Amino acid sequence: MVEGARSWMRENSGLIYFLIAQFIAIGAMAASAIAYMVKLETRVSIMEERGAAYTVGRMDEMKLKINALEQQIEHNERSINRIVDVMTKKLNISP
């Protein structure tokens, strides 16, 4: 009986290694899924603790940054237009 089992294991060692590797892969996938769920739950609990005030504060900061960038863009556009006007006047070319 034991000799038969050993013989079968020797003959099917590739299958046994494949099954062991498959069990390890399934375990790793389960561990990864659990880690993802824990991370997601942590994010949810943090948002619940901080509440809407924190989110509104961050949105206000983003609006200020966007406003500053828009002002910088307008300033750059004016500078470029001024440079183009000066250069075209020197070349006697009208745009």
Please check whether residue 81 is in contact with residue 75, taking contact to mean a CB–CB distance below 8 angstroms. no
Structural domain spans, the chain: 2-91
Alpha carbon of residue 38 to chain centroid:
17
94: left (phi over 0), alpha (psi -120 to 50) or beta: beta
**Per-residue pLDDT in tens (0 to 9) along the chain, 95 residues:** 888 888 888 898 999 999 999 999 999 999 999 999 999 999 888 887 877 777 788 889 999 999 999 999 999 999 999 998 888 887 766 65
Rounded alpha-carbon distances, angstroms, from residue 48 to 35, 59, 90, 93, 94: 20, 17, 63, 63, 61
**Rounded CA gap, 26 and 38, in Å?**
18
**What pTM does this model have?**
0.45
